[in-house]
Every structure is written in C-alpha cells, then in structure tokens.
A = this chain, B = another copy of it.
Amino acid sequence: MKTLRVAITGVGNVGSRIGGALEERAPEFARRFNADVRVVGVSASTEGLIDGSGISGERIAGRTDFVSGLTGQRFFDELEADVLIEAGPSNYVDGAPGLSHLEAALEGSMDVICVSKGALVVAGDDIYRRAAEAERQVRVSGAAASAMPTVDFLTYDLAGAQVTRFEALLTGTTTFVLDTMYRHGWDLDDAVAEAQESGIAEPQPEFDVDGWDTAAKLVVIARAVFNAGIPIESVPRQSVKNVNEEQIDCWKQHDIVPRLVGILELDDSDRVTASVQVKCYPKSHPFSLAEGSMKAVNVSTKRMGDYSLLGGASSLDATAAAAIKDLEHILTCRMSSSVQ
C-alpha cells in the first residue's frame, strides 16, 4: 500500500473539518486506491504539529499536543508531505501567509489544494508557473465556489466544448440582500443587518456587497479554466450599494429579479474579460430560482450548447468535501501513474 501524506495549513473552521473529513474517508481511499491517505502535518497561525505516523481529526480539533512556533518556514523545513491543503484566511493585500505556504509546498514538490483565495488572487501567475515547473497540480475547487463545482464542470465535463461565456451567482450574501430589498422594500443597511443576523453575511459585509468576493472568485476561475491572469483591480464592479428604490420598483413592475453576478467572456481571439454586474432575470430564469447561499452558473459553449447549474449552498462541510474531492482527483492521477 502506497502512502499519501497530506499537510493542512490553516486549522480554523474549514481546516479542522478537512482533517475530520479526511479521516472519515481514509478507509474508502485504502479500499479503492490501495492508498494510506493520512494527515502528517497541520499548522495554525501560532502553533503546529508534525507526525508522520498520522494525525487524527480529534488531535487536530483538540490541539493539545501542538508545538508552539511550528509554523511558516520552520513547519515546511520539518515537513515531509505529498500534498498541501491551504485553508487559512484569504488575504487579498499580499496573500500572506497562504502564498508562502503554497510556494514552500511547490518547492517541496507537493501538489497543492487551495481553499483560501488570497494567494491565488494576488499571485496566481506565480503559483501556476511554479507548479508547472515542478510538474505538480494546483486544485482550487474550494476557492472557486466551494460546493458548486465550477472548475470541474468547465474543464472536465465540458472538455473540448469551447466555453465562450460564464455567468454566475457566486456570493450568497448579495443574493440574500438583493432579495430582501426586492421582496420587503427594505433599504440596504437593514437588509445587510438581516443578513448578518441570519449568519449569512460576514461582520465586514462590504467585501461581498461591493462585488469584491465575486471578482476574487472570477479571478480564480479564469486562471484555473482559461489560464488567464486577470488582475482583480481591473475587473469592473457594480455594487449592491448603488441599487436604489426607484430601480427596485421598476424591476418589480417588469417582474424581473436582481442578482449580483460575475461574468467571464471570451472574444474571438480567446481573450477573457471579467466583470461584476447587478443584472435582472425573468422569473423563468434559473438564476431567479437561486435563493439563500445557493450558487448558480450559466455556461455557453460552441460545441455542446448551453447549461445552467443550481446548488452548492455554502456550508463548511461542503467546502471541506470539495477540498477532499480535489485530493481524490490528485490520488487518482498519482495512482494511475504508479501502476503503469
């Protein structure tokens, strides 16, 4: 039985769930791939743990035998692993600390799975170039739209279909806020406060409301699907803040529903442009059916027609499952390589 050694950086809500989920799936991986998949290292912000014999989900959650200061470069110096799952906070200023984790992992010839988005947005070029040089994989399901498999759908299910347009509802908060304003006639502040009370919006909701979250996901998807490097600052963004009462009334009269969407469009020379827009959809459009934190995707292709996807409601468990899915795909590649 071959061993696949996994490291996790960032052991907050998502990271610790990934540890537990991996432990739960290990017997299945052993049976199907004849592989012993185990966590051999975890690193939080100020402490970490390395144990080649395997670290249980309980030890990750309990943190009773974590070593103070076992983080950053020291963690990677001591770590021997095959795959890194980066699940720390997303920092859109300089990508730290995720970026240095990913760089160290690729330097150490690990495949990398990104759940955090910061490093991908700030330095996607750099990460993918290093991965190509090291002949290692970058998987980003958890960073692209968590439980909605955008990247897999576009690159695998529609391989060769020639995607020309991607339009998606990627941020649950803005759907909730726009729906609340539309249905109940509330103003933005009250709608945002309601979203926060319902646990949907973050304490700092501007990142979602102003379209930055959607733009960040577009940047991640554009890189993973089209190998296009789009600086996030260059993405034109409309904000939910600019939606006013008159617009809402007008949309109601026309029986159309507003959504904040991210759009990627390819021109004839396959150049990708991105934008974040407040758009309205008729009741018969799948996007108007998406509620709460559900994601929705529309894809146009040259060879296989058009598709709509609905689902992938946000949840920590679903995001963890998306990261483990990426790991399963890496496992499939590594196992099929080794038997030949």
Contacts and interface: CB of A to CB of B under 8 A. Distances in A.
A306 interface: yes
Given A311-B305, A313-B305, A318-B304, A325 B160 contact: yes
B312 A309 contact: no
Given A305-B318, A315-B305, A337-B336, A160 B324 contact: yes
A161 B336 contact: no
* Protomer copies: 2
B286 A328 contact: no
Interface in A281-340: 284, 286, 289, 299, 303-313, 315, 317-318, 321-322, 324-325, 328-329, 333, 336-338, 340
A315 B325 CA distance: 32
A305 B172 CA distance: 15
A207 interface: no
Size class of A's contact patch?
A: 35 or more
Contacts of A317: 303
A132 interface: no
A268 to B, nearest CB: 17
Contact of A160 (B25, B158, B336): B25
